[in-house]
């Protein structure tokens, strides 16, 4: 008989704003607990892909996203309950500032009763950190207070000034001294990919050592059991080949899990390096950084020909964001795979950001709306027919294009928000 709740120490790492060091601090915590022999499951609040890759290096486990807007409350409850059953510690990295966005990571923390730890960049302040912590917690008194980690402190004395200034009801969790070697490089979509930082494991380990051996466990949280989810075996016997390399890497682990739960076999291939497209019943080119690998894409004519042959025979292909740009005719003036009519250019300013929901005229699904998000600097000029359009907080969002068996959009779809509809992307 299924229990009604699963208990596990859990903590959500938040900050007043982006750029405070949440990712490295969360990774350091995760590694510190893992070094003690504990099983650690990390989550990323919001739809971000890149931070989760860093946390996966720290924990050794796949990282999942929690977002009440894109993923939904039921999905978050299911993931947290499962994690509590299988792990000794749960860590969630917040997104932007604690209260930014609707819903925010504070909403996640309050809804599930998860204590919030504050990561504060103390490089240019001392006792004022205590005032910032007091204000952040006081803004929503219902939030449980896990405590403060001061980041970028200059010395033990600096850390002590912050610690001594904290009110009695705000715990001190520790400090991380300033070390330029522990910073993570950034570019237009956020941090560099974990695989691009050669010494990422050493950086995380060094950061974990800064937290010291006496790091306490977070408070235990009871996570209620979710309602039983029936996954239809709509992809039984199908093989789905997923592009995975430095140019195509933005995939949600929950999406892969769902495809397998629906019966699909998953294989991976590299449009950059492989000279032959693997045999499969459907293909998925997720987002990533094709604009950084234009010469390799241009030169891989065998991959282009393989994808074109798959499209010509009606094999389903889903192309998201960077995957769509790579299937166009040109990207930043350079020829790419050329399966879709249209040219793309990356822009100096952000072109799309936020959670959206797309409603499809899809057969075989009880409901036809799926959660998604967009975050890109690209512009795609095309005359492709639009079969639907995402809808966000401020109205109409990203178009979804269809040409033959190819579905393409700047949207990154979150498959568990509508399993039956997600299956349709990979069925003829």
Helix and strand counts by DSSP (H, E) for the chain: 12, 26
Rounded CA gap, 290 and 277, in Å?
A: 17
pLDDT at 258: 98
Could you state, in order of their start, the residue ranges of all structural domains in the chain? 6-224, 239-424
Distances from the Cα of 127 to the Cαs of 98, 150, 152, 192, 316, in angstroms?
20, 11, 14, 33, 58
| Domains 6-224 and 239-424 fall in the same CATH topology | yes
- pLDDT given for residue 50 in this prediction: 84
- Whole-number Å distance between alpha carbons of 318 and 290: 16
* pLDDT value of residue 4: 86
CATH of segment(s) 6-224: 3.40.50.300
Q: What CATH code would you report for 239-424? A: 3.40.50.880
* pLDDT of the residue at 395: 79
CB-CB neighbours of 364 under 10 Å: 12
Report whether the peptide linkage leading into residue 103 is cis, meaning its omega lies within 30 degrees of zero.
yes
**Predicted local distance difference test score (pLDDT) of residue 394:** 78
SS3 25: helix
- Catalytic residue status for 71: no
* pLDDT < 70: residue spans in the chain: 1-3, 180-198, 362-366
- DSSP strand pairing (343-346 vs 378-381): antiparallel
Task: Choose among 323, 319, 271: nearest CA to 425.
Answer: 319
pLDDT of 197: 65
pLDDT at 407: 98
Separation in Å, CA 264 to CA 192, 261, 286: 31, 7, 17
Pull the structure tokens for residue 252.
């949600």
């Amino acid at each position: 008989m299924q229990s009604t709740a699963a208990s596990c120490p859990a903590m959500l790492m938040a900050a007043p704003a982006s750029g405070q060091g949440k990712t490295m601090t969360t990774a350091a915590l995760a590694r510190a607990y893992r070094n003690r022999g504990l099983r650690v499951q990390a989550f990323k609040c919001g739809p971000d892909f890149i931070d989760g890759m860093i946390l996966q290096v720290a924990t050794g486990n796949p990282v999942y996203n929690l977002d009440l807007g894109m993923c939904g409350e039921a999905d978050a409850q299911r993931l947290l309950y499962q994690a509590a059953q299988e792990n000794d510690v749960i860590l969630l990295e917040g997104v932007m500032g604690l209260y930014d966005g609707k819903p925010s990571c504070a909403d996640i923390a309050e809804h599930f009763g998860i204590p919030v730890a504050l990561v504060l960049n103390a490089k240019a302040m001392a006792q004022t950190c205590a005032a910032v912590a007091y204000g952040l917690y006081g803004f929503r008194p219902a939030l449980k207070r896990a405590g403060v980690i001061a980041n970028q402190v200059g010395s033990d004395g600096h850390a002590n000034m912050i610690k001594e200034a904290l009110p009695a009801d705000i715990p001190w969790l520790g400090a991380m001294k300033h070390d330029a070697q522990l910073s993570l490089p950034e570019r237009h979509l956020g941090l560099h990919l974990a695989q691009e930082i050669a010494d990422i494991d050493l950086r995380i380990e060094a950061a974990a050592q800064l937290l010291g051996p006496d790091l306490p466990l977070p408070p235990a949280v009871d996570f209620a059991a979710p309602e039983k989810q029936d996954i239809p075996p709509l992809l039984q016997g199908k093989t789905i080949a997923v592009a995975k390399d430095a140019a195509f890497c933005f995939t949600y682990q929950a999406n892969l899990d769902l495809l397998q739960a629906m019966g699909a076999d998953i294989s991976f291939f590299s449009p950059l390096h492989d000279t032959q497209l693997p045999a499969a019943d459907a293909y998925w080119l997720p987002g990533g950084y094709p604009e950084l690998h234009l010469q390799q894409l241009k030169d891989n004519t065998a991959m282009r020909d393989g994808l074109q042959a798959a499209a010509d025979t009606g094999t389903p292909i889903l192309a998201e964001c960077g995957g769509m740009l790579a299937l166009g005719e040109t990207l930043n003036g350079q020829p790419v795979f050329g399966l879709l009519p249209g040219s793309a250019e990356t822009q100096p300013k952000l072109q799309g950001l936020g959670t959206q929901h797309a409603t499809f005229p899809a057969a075989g699904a009880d409901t036809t709306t799926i959660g998604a998000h967009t975050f890109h600097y690209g512009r795609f000029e095309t005359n492709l027919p639009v079969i639907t359009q995402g809808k966000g907080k401020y109205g109409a969002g990203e178009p979804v294009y269809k040409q033959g068996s190819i579905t393409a959009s700047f949207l990154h779809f979150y498959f568990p928000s509508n399993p039956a509809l997600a299956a349709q992307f990979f069925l003829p």
